Amino acid sequence: MTSFLWSCAALFSLFVAVEPLSCYTCDVNILGYCLREAPVNCTTAQDRCVTAVAKFSGHILDIHERGCIENSTCDDSSGTVLTVKYNITRTCCSTSLCNGAGSPRRPLAAALAASLVAAWSL
């Protein structure tokens, strides 16, 4: 009986569709802090999640971006736009939702835990 179940499980695994990679995008980004993260499904060609920062010469604010990217375009790059030099630093990863920011959630979790402790001690 157990061999029949294992055979069924093996057969079922052949029909399971591979889900596309999911990565975080950031709709609202202020000074490098993402205020509203949202996961998106990548295309089949986009096999990496990316967190990128474009730094400009002069007093121009940095541009931060998250999303899906092809592995072949995961390298850092630099250039010039209208006499302003820029450097783009990309950090890529290959598992679903690996480009999310963990730090903004910690203060919220700590605040919730402190609220629960305070309410429980009353």
The CA–CA distances, whole Å, from 85 to 62, 89, 117 equal 12, 14, 51
Give tens-digit pLDDT for 57-108.
987 888 899 999 999 999 999 999 889 999 999 999 999 999 987 544 445 5
CATH superfamily of 19-121: CD59 (2.10.60.10)
In the structure encoding, which two tokens stand for residue 58, read together? Answer: 């002069």
What angle (nearest 5°) sits at the alpha carbon of residue 81, between those of residues 68 and 100?
25
Domain ranges across the chain: 19-121
Phi, psi for 36 (deg, rounded to 5):
-145, 100
pLDDT digits (tens, 9 = 90+) for 9-62: 544 444 445 678 999 998 777 777 888 889 999 999 999 999 999 999 987 888
